[in-house]
Amino acid sequence: LNAAAVVPAAGRGERLGPGAPKALRDLGGVPILVHAVRVLARSRAVGRVVVVAPADGVAEVRALLADALGERENAVLVVVPGGATRQESVRAGLAALPDDVDVVLVHDAARPLVPVDVVDAVARTVAEGAEAVVPAVPLADTVKQVGAPAVPGAPEPVLSTPDRSTLRAVQTPQGFRRDVLDRVHTKAVAEGVDATDDAGLVERFGGRVVVVPGHEEAFKVTRPLDLVLAEAVLARRRS
């Protein structure tokens, strides 16, 4: 099987505070995105990486990634401009894939510390026949569904508490048969559907998604505290 990775990295990252686009923020001396691309490049399963950059940052991102593939000289790295939403950015990445790619891993640039074993396990599970695969971890917190407050500003009422043992927090890379991912993204555009992850589109259009174990270090850098945690994880790895 011929697998490629699409890395949406075009988000502003406003929840992280003011500054550069999230993927270009520093983590241990290197932009977050560079960490993410290096992990993908370390996976023997991945022959091509398409990075989806902010539309005004394509040249800058190309320069940053010039040596991110390390020793994988046979792997190909392409940078294309992204869109207004994550889903649009993924679509731009898919459009840049050659015809002979039959497995696609979609990996958030904002998950720079995912272990390469998780990347390999996702790719392998697609190679073994799954049409869509997500890495996921159990939840530490109990989750409540809430409703609208009676009047604006009042406390939100709790509606229900799903059984935590049946819930998983989903990470990336998410892996797909290429034909399946192309089809659901095309349908999403036609029907105006927006999802927060790609597997969500597969579910929405009747496909089958399976879970493999994720990893606590594959967390998404979203808020300032996540960056503190990421720095600590990196420091531990380097010690």
Please work out the total of residues on this chain that contact ligand C5P, with binding judged by CB under 6 A. Answer: 18
Please state, as a whole number, how many other Cβ atoms lie within 10 Å of the Cβ of residue 96: 16
User: Hey, which residues between 187 and 226 contact ligand C5P (CB under 6 A)?
Assistant: 220, 222
Q: Is residue 86 a contact point for ligand C5P (CB under 6 A)? A: yes
Cα 220 from Cα 165, distance rounded (Å): 22
CB of 140 to ligand C5P, least distance (A): 19
**Using CB under 6 A, which of the segments 41-49, 80-88, 130-138, 163-171 binds ligand C5P?**
80-88
Interatomic CA distance for residues 133 and 229, integer angstroms: 27
Query: Is the peptide bond between 173 and the residue preceding it cis, with omega within 30 degrees of 0?
Result: yes
Binding mask 5-34 vs ligand C5P (x if CB under 6 A, - otherwise)? Answer: ---xxxx----------xx-----------
Q: Does 89 bind ligand C5P (CB under 6 A)?
A: yes
DSSP-assigned states of every residue in 160-171: E---GGG-EEE-
Alpha-carbon torsion 142, 11, 201, 62, what sign? negative
The one segment of 4-12, 112-120, 185-193, 225-233 that binds ligand C5P by CB under 6 A? 4-12
> Under the criterion CB under 6 A, does residue 135 sit at the interface with ligand C5P?
no
Measured distance CA(39)–CA(72) in Å, rounded: 11
Binding site residues, ligand C5P, CB under 6 A = 8-11, 22-23, 52, 82-86, 89, 108-110, 220, 222
